[in-house]
Amino acid sequence: MNVPAHLKYADSHEWMRAEADGTVTVGITDHAQAALGDLVFIELPAVGRALKAGEACAVVESVKAASDVYAPIAGEVVAVNADVTGTPESVNQDAYAAWLFRVKPADPGALATMLDAAAYTKLISEA
Amino acid sequence: MLKQTPLNAVHRAAGARMVDFGGWDMPVHYGSQIDEHHAVRRDAGMFDVSHMRAVDLSGAGAREFLRYALANNVDKLKDSGRALYSCLLRPDGGVLDDLIVYFLREDFFRIVVNAGTTDKDVAWFRRLLGERAPRLTLSPRDDLAMIAVQGPHARAKVWAALPGSDAATAEMKPFFGREVDTGAGPAFVARTGYTGEDGFEVMVPAARAEATWNALVAAGVRPCGLGARDTLRLEAGMNLYGQDMDESTSPLAAGLAWTVDLASPRDFVGKAALVAHPPARRLTGLLLQDAGGVLRAHQKVGTAHGDGEVTSGTFSPTLGKSIALASLPTEVAAGDVVHVAVRDKRLAARVVKPPFVRNGKVLVS
């Protein structure tokens, strides 16, 4: 399973990437897309929405099931990837390229507290 | 401990994603459920359905027994090999199972039942046999593996993979089955399925399951998981037992009135209850009009005549839209627009008469 070393992870199977401007890009992991199967519908949060950590804020639906995506850290949604709503399968093809939304963290230190690649790899290998 | 079919190791070696399907360890897909779906609609795919059970009924009077035991009328089976879809009902009219029965000889019928219902079906048949026909023999065929090969090119690929099957089945019409000598040993080949496409269901001894599967792969048949099987059957407007109907459902409410023979004077288990209680609901198709999600089982459906419920819903790979089977008040008609509760939204869906797709062609718009 693909778990890039430069990303951070949540135990609810989102990945996070720190951007140069201080925002954090969020998507679902390769493990999550494989578990869901072929994605056919994605709903993203509204830009400007204030998210609490752990709050359900997006929906990904595969042929077989619907699944919530959780805000891994608190913050304001500053951008969404509108391309993926038209091509949900792009998340299956490359879960780390097909990001879902970007947040401006309420706490700039929040990202550092999330799982690193080694810890996330351990989490999914135990599941 | 999950039960395994004789093909379990083959699925794992092929990289299948395995799931617990009613106590069986079964492949849900081998990579992409949607690609597997399209393979069946456009070419040929196969499913391991060895968790389903063939049950042989033999002895003099087998037809007379089935005439009473099944809701559909086995007197429709005149030619050897002919198959019939039927419900098995409780005395109160609830659906114990749906099945296919093959008439092979007057003293030999083969019944194929669902996996999760095998034990209760066999127990029910035995009880009924004890009351009405104790000399008949019922034999669950745990020794057989079953592979459903489906798609417009499925038959040709079976003929290429199983020597001798060509001559024996080339002229066989849909909904017939027969024993075939393949050179490697006997196989039961039936022109039946659960996808809305042409094809064969092939039963072989468990010991030959792997060789048969590999020969089919070599002939160009794509392995498909139960995920694609579900989207294919739903597009074809076919019910799934336990989801679209169960013991609390009348077949008349489950879109299966066409399989229940109420016209003839014949008595059968459940008949009196069906006549006494006409259903207030019926199963119909839904085609999602709005964007905003996918139709799924148990979603509430609001109609002008009262509420209903989605029994099976999915994204249809062939239509590129979400489709469903839903149990709605009988007053709701094809063409009506209803509203389905999808999470926090109410999405418009149009009522259509299933099937949605048959033989590669879209039948709704």
pLDDT at B50 over 90: yes
Mean pLDDT, residues A102-113 taken together: 96
DSSP per residue over B1-70, as a string?
A: --B--TTHHHHHHTTPEEEEETTEEEEEESS-HHHHHHHHHHS-EEEE-TTSEEEEEESTTHHHHHHHHB
Categorize the per-residue pLDDT at B110 as very low, low, confident or very high, splitting at 50, 70 and 90. Answer: very high
The pLDDT confidence band at residue B183, using thresholds 50, 70 and 90, is confident
- How much is the pLDDT for B12? 98
Contact A31, A1 (CB under 8 A): yes
Percent of chain B with pLDDT over 70: 100
- Judged by DSSP in three states, A102 sits in strand
State yes or no: pLDDT of B359 exceeds 70: yes
In a domain, B273, yes or no: no
Chain B neighbors of A64, CB-CB under 8 A: 28, 33, 227, 230, 314
- The CATH number covering residue A99 comes to 2.40.50.100
- A126 within some domain: no
A65 domain-assigned? yes
The CATH number that applies at residue B344 is 2.40.30.110
Summarize pLDDT for B284-301 with one digit per residue, the tens: 999 999 999 999 999 999
Going by C-alpha positions, the residue among B288, B295, B289 that lies closest to residue B343 is B295
Inside any domain, residue A102 = yes
- Confidence check: pLDDT of B18 > 90: yes
What is the model's pLDDT at position B112?
Answer: 98
Beta strands B222-223 and B45-48 are parallel
State the residue range of the domain holding A44: 8-120
The whole-number pLDDT of residue A64 equals: 86
CA B128/CA B120 separation, integer angstroms:
12
Contacts of A16 (CB under 8 A, 6+ apart): A7, A8, A9, A10, A24, A25, A26, A72, A73, A111, A114
Does residue A37 form part of some domain? Answer: yes
The reply to whether A127 falls in a domain is no
**Residues in B 315-354 with any Cβ partner in A closer than 8 A:** 315, 317, 343
Q: For residue B28, what is the domain's CATH number?
A: 3.30.1360.120
Sign of CA dihedral A82, A88, A89, A93: positive
Contact B109, B308 (CB under 8 A): no
Residue A52 lies in a domain: yes
Do B33 and B153 fall within a single domain? yes
ipTM above 0.90, yes or no: no
Cα separation of A59 and A68, whole Å? 5
Q: Based on the structure, what is the number of domains in chain B?
A: 2
Tell me, yes or no, whether B291 lies in a domain. yes
In the predicted structure, residue B234 carries a pLDDT above the cut 90: yes
Query: Is there a single domain that holds both residue B296 and residue B227?
Result: no
Residues B270-291, mean pLDDT to the nearest whole number? 96
In a domain, B266, yes or no: no
- Name the residue range of residue B324's domain: 280-365
Mean pLDDT, chain A, whole residue set = 96
Mean pLDDT of B151-176: 96
**Which of B234, B264, B288 lies at the terminal end of a domain, its last residue?**
B234
Tell me whether residue A78 is in a domain. Answer: yes
A63, B293: Cβ pair inside 8 Å?
no
Segment A16-24 mean pLDDT: 97
Rounded CA separation B107/B79 (Å): 14
Are residues B226 and B287 located together in one domain of the fold? no
- B48 lies in the same domain as B176: yes
In a domain, B261, yes or no: no
The answer as to whether B263 is a domain residue is no
Residue at a domain's end among B234, B262, B296: B234
Cα–Cα separations (whole angstroms), residue B89 to B54, B93, B146: 18, 5, 25
Residue with tokens 């393979």: B39
pLDDT reported for residue B57: 98
Q: Indicate if the pLDDT at residue A127 is higher than 80.
A: no
The answer, yes or no, to whether residue B336 has pLDDT greater than 70, is yes
Report, as an integer, the average pLDDT of B236-254: 98
Asked whether residue B206 is assigned to any structural domain, the reply reads yes
For position B349, what pLDDT does the model report?
A: 98
The pLDDT of residue A52 is 98
Q: Do B237 and B285 contact (CB within 8 A), yes or no?
A: yes
Chain B residues whose beta carbon lies within 8 Å of the beta carbon of residue A37: 17, 28-29, 32-33, 227
Closest Cα in chain B, distance from residue A126 (Å): 17
Question: Does residue A73 lie in a domain region?
Answer: yes
Per-chain mean pLDDT for chain B: 97
Kindly state the average pLDDT of the residues A68-78.
Answer: 98
Between CA B227 and CA B232 the distance in angstroms is 9
Domains in chain A: how many in total? Answer: 1
Does position B343 have pLDDT exceeding 70, yes or no?
yes
Residues 74-113 on A with a CB inside 8 Å of B are: 92
pLDDT at B33 exceeding the cut of 80:
yes
